[in-house]
Amino acid sequence: MRLLGLLVVCAAVCSAGEFAVLANGSRLRGDRHEAAEGNKVRLYNGPGFIELDAAQVASFEHFEDPAPPPAPAPVAVVEAPKPVLTPAELADAAAEKYGIPATLIRSVMAQESAGKTNAVSPKGAIGLMQLMPGTARDLGVDPYDPAQNVDGGARLLLALLMKYDRNLWHALAAYNAGEGAVQKYGGIPPYRETVNYVKKIDRAYKKADQGN
């Protein structure tokens, strides 16, 4: 699971990147992008990337963050610890960042880990969004860090939704059983676990969405 490229060197300290403007109006921020095999586009964000069909990307908008002002003289300050976000707050933050309904991410999280940050499945899936180590590596996240875990899981879910033209059931089936299984069966694979997984999340998502 993986979204061409700009590298800008500034005389002053600055950073550059781009927004991928999707055909559905969503915008994804990244460092750069490049063409991939099979008429795909990869959008890189740090060491990770997501991969989408090129037809789903309407355009790219480049930007540069202005150079920061000179740092003030150091002052001895004891910083307050950053607040630790709850799983629900992490889901809401990822939803706002990637343009996915927060209720959907929460429903996936509840089904995957029951909201337990330290959850590890018998198959080795890790954390709130139950990322396999290889998937986390491809996404460039530390699966043991709750914030990175949810961010990576949300990016993966978005990539699957885009791949399957917003077909939620196919995206959820691929999240659970893998894209290969969905391709093999032309839809939801006939695995009891996957069928129940898709139905439970769809039901919970719709119920939560109706309650808002």
**Could you tell me the domains of the chain?**
15-65 (2.30.30), 87-211 (1.10.530.10)
Judge contact between 157 and 100, C-beta under 8 A. Answer: yes
Mean pLDDT of the chain: 85
Closest Cα partner for 98 from 200, 203, 42, 26?
A: 26
Query: Cα(165)–Cα(138) distance, rounded to whole angstroms?
Result: 22
Q: Apex CA 171: angle with CA 33 and CA 59, to 5°?
A: 30
Q: Given a cut of 60, is residue 181 above it in pLDDT?
A: yes
Residues 157-164: what's their mean pLDDT?
A: 96
Residue 103 — very low, low, confident or very high, per pLDDT cuts 50/70/90?
A: very high
CB 48 within 8 A of CB 141: yes
Mean per-residue pLDDT, 40-45: 81
The pLDDT, as a whole number, for residue 12 is: 31
Please state the rounded mean pLDDT for residues 191-196.
96
Task: Tell me how far the alpha carbon of residue 59 is from its chain's centroid.
Answer: 20
Specify burial of residue 194 (Cβ count, 10 A radius: 0-12, 13-18, 19+): buried
For 109-142, write each residue's pLDDT tens digit: 999 999 999 999 999 999 999 999 999 999 999 9
User: Does the structure show a pLDDT above 90 at 204?
Assistant: yes
Q: What confidence tens digit (pLDDT) does each residue in 111-120 have?
A: 999 999 999 9
Residue located via tokens 């150091």: 74
- Rounded Cα distance between 54 and 35, Å, is 8
Give the whole-number percent of the chain exceeding pLDDT 90: 57
State mean pLDDT over 78-97: 89
Which amino acid is located at 69 in the chain? P
Active site (catalytic) residues: 112
Q: How confident is the model at residue 3 (pLDDT cuts 50, 70, 90)?
A: very low
> What is residue 40's three-state secondary structure?
strand
Neighbour tally for 73: CB within 10 Å: 5
pLDDT number for residue 13: 35
Cα 38 to Cα 42, 53, 116, distances in angstroms: 11, 8, 37
- Positions of E strands within the chain: 15-22, 27-30, 32-36, 40-45, 48-53, 57-65
